[in-house]
Structure 1
Amino acid sequence: MSEQQKPKKRFSLRKLIYNDKNLIIISLLAAVCIWIATSMNLSPETTKNISVPLKIDFSDTVTEELGFKCYGESSMTVNVTVRAKKYLAKDISADDLDVKLQTSSVTTTGIHEVPISVSAGDSGDFTVESYYPTVYTGYFDVPEEQEMEIKLNYNTKDYVADGFVAGESLLNEPNVVVSGPKTYVARVSKVVADVNLNDKLSETATINIEPKAVDVYGNKVDYISLNYGAEKLTLTIPVLKVKQLGTHVTLTDAPESVDLSKIKIYYSTDSIRAGVLAGTDIKAAELGEVHFSDLRVGENTFTFNATQLEGITVLDDTEKVTVRVVVPSDYTSKDIDVSAAGVKLNNVPAGYTAKVTALNSDSVTIIGPKSAIRGLKAKNVMLSCDLTAKKGESIKTGTRQLPVTVSIAKADGTWAYGTYRATVELSKK
């Protein structure tokens, strides 16, 4: 019989079972399956404690639709005890638990205990035996905001060393926004910050402060938050050294060759008791400036405000200082006739034409020593206007008022008294 004609072998269950080797393998597999099934069914149960974080969120709920906001902890931890087969317990985690708030229970303002529900989620391999806490407690109300000034509460009034005084303290954020439930915001009487200074200061200090909202009795109001623009609130306390400073004004725009020793200055108050920032080189109370264009022959009186002088704080009762600037009698004045046609225009923009159409005065008063004024001629007095545009300013056609500069030639120690302006008309070519 050829190879192709040999009969095919048939599968025989009888031969498989009655084969000793196969029978041993089948018996072992069956024993393992039976052992696994029995172990699973007869495995002892155990309990396991699991901590589940719960975020407090009332968005998209009835509470939010009613316009209420929850004031309390923004998150909490729920401790859950589950019961499961011992071999399953080790794999159960917080992700297998469904922990949530029953938000529909809040429909009015006030303090509410919101029930917490815990379930096994989609798994049926364990049961929830207990959990704690069972409720979330919070205050629910309509939100309210109000801006308030911070009041400082110093623990002592005597906090600077001898020979020094404290300047006006400065908060980097003088106001805060008080926000919280409407009922509690209404209880806020003021916002205060304690300033505790245990050592006497001899230099400027900057300290951090913690403001708090309090009621009329000084008790802190619950559920209130304070909002401000800075990352943290700081208080700067300037510490000034006490000095007796002489009063002083500066004469500006002095003409060349003028003998300043002949110009006498007298003060209603020769010195001021003042506080000066430590480390600064301030040696006088600088009242301000006196321009020569404001000086005529004889006595010229000026009054300066002494309460807001740069770099110092006045400590005595001085509020104003009167300054008399005296131009001696050997000086004189002379009026020189001028006209719009005699005004020179400098720095006219390219592509434009300009002309002076009027002056605010038909004469210029010149002050100076009699010897210089005696020979002064009209040709020695020159008027000019500068049309240079300010940086970033566009050129505009039309009429404008410009200051007039008065230059005096061949007359040492002289100056123009008064302020002069010209009407200038600018147009395109």
Structure 2
Amino acid sequence: MKNEQKPENSTGSLSVLKNIKLPSPAKAVQGSLDWVKGIFKRDSGWKVLSIIIATGIWAVVSISVYPTIESVYYNVPVKIDLENTYAEANQLDVITASQETVTVRLSGNRSEIGEIKTEDLTAVVDVSNVMMPKNYKLPMDISCLKGNDFEVVSIEPDSISVSFDKIISKELPITPQLENVRIASGYMSGDAEVTPSTVTVTGPQDMINSITKICARVSPNKELDSTYEFTTDELVLYNENAVISDDNQMLSFDKTAFAVQIPVFVRQTLPLEVNIINAPEKFDLDYFREQLVFSVDVLDIAAPNDKIKELSSLNIGTINMREVDVGSTFEFKAENFLPEGYENLTQIDTITVTCPKENIQKRAIAIKGKDIQFINRPAQYEFEPVSSGMTLFLVGDKEQIASIVREDITAQIDLIDFDMQEGDHKMSVGFIISSYDKVWFNGGDGIATPKIIVKATIAEPEEITVE
């Protein structure tokens, strides 16, 4: 008879398990935390190792779970390159652009995107359709210096406004613009001058062609009583309507410093007078001057210094008595008689002087050649007029003219400058009329002394008689 083994009683086994005490889940977690804390308290090296391990695990999980990412880049610079474009071929340049930087959002592999920095990116403007001067709204594309792969999610803004025009240069005159400059009482200012007087402006063709005036502005808040020179670097540009704004610094100038000179004159009203030449030796000049009639008696002038205050009259020119006939008139241009720097304040450009004709007569008197006297004659020469004589015209007070006889007139030739040569010589004849002070000689052609032909010969030696 076999011995049969009885199975273990399951009820007994359960009773054994029931006697084993297991910790609750909360206590298990807490126990683990206490164990970890114990490690950190016992060894700081474990701390570092744990952080490294955690970071590595996070990186692996991130790459595995999220391989593609997006990244935003701010202040990405905008680039407008015209090289080898239609714009360059048409000599166009960028005048203004609405953006200098943009914000870019990129998408791509984490390893590619992670290496890109803002300074690696450029927003390149598409200028392929720019062919003429005007404003364009242009798209952009993003380039990366490192050549990484990515997709452009967005560009903010997605386009920019760019103005194109030709750049030209033009030389323009400069006009002075004076502000807060006062002139002292009794003085006046002349036309201000700018040195240099022109400037070459370079900039957009439309803007350059719109300029109607360029001014050098000075505003010193100063009172002037003499000529003064200011310096300035301020240029003001005008078009037909207003001042041209150059806030964007689109214009450049070949000169930047200018001198503005303001002439300051002393004002004076002066009586007019003339010089008298070729009057007879004892002629009464005061009598003659009193007979002259000026088209204006005074002239308003201005001069750049106080010397004008020392003038009692203004000399406008010279009257040659040889040219004066009955009622003769002479014209004098202001531009000829005003000294340099003096300004005529009137609208009178020409002054006429009329010689006397009331109680004035003209008379012709014949002078014979044999009546001409020679003074300062060299002893070894003899002189004889070839001409038989000449006609002399006298003008003057009619009473004195009527009283003159031939003997009142002395005709003579001065030989002080004779060249000591035989033959015919043309010599000047002078006249003296000593008894009359209101009569003068009229030569018609204005020649001071008429000329005649005189023959010079060597004198024969005087014969000596020996008794």
More strand by share: 1
TM-score, length-normalised on structure 2? 0.45
Select the structure that is richer in helix. Answer: 2
- The higher radius of gyration belongs to 2
The alignment's TM-score, normalised by the length of structure 1, stands at 0.48
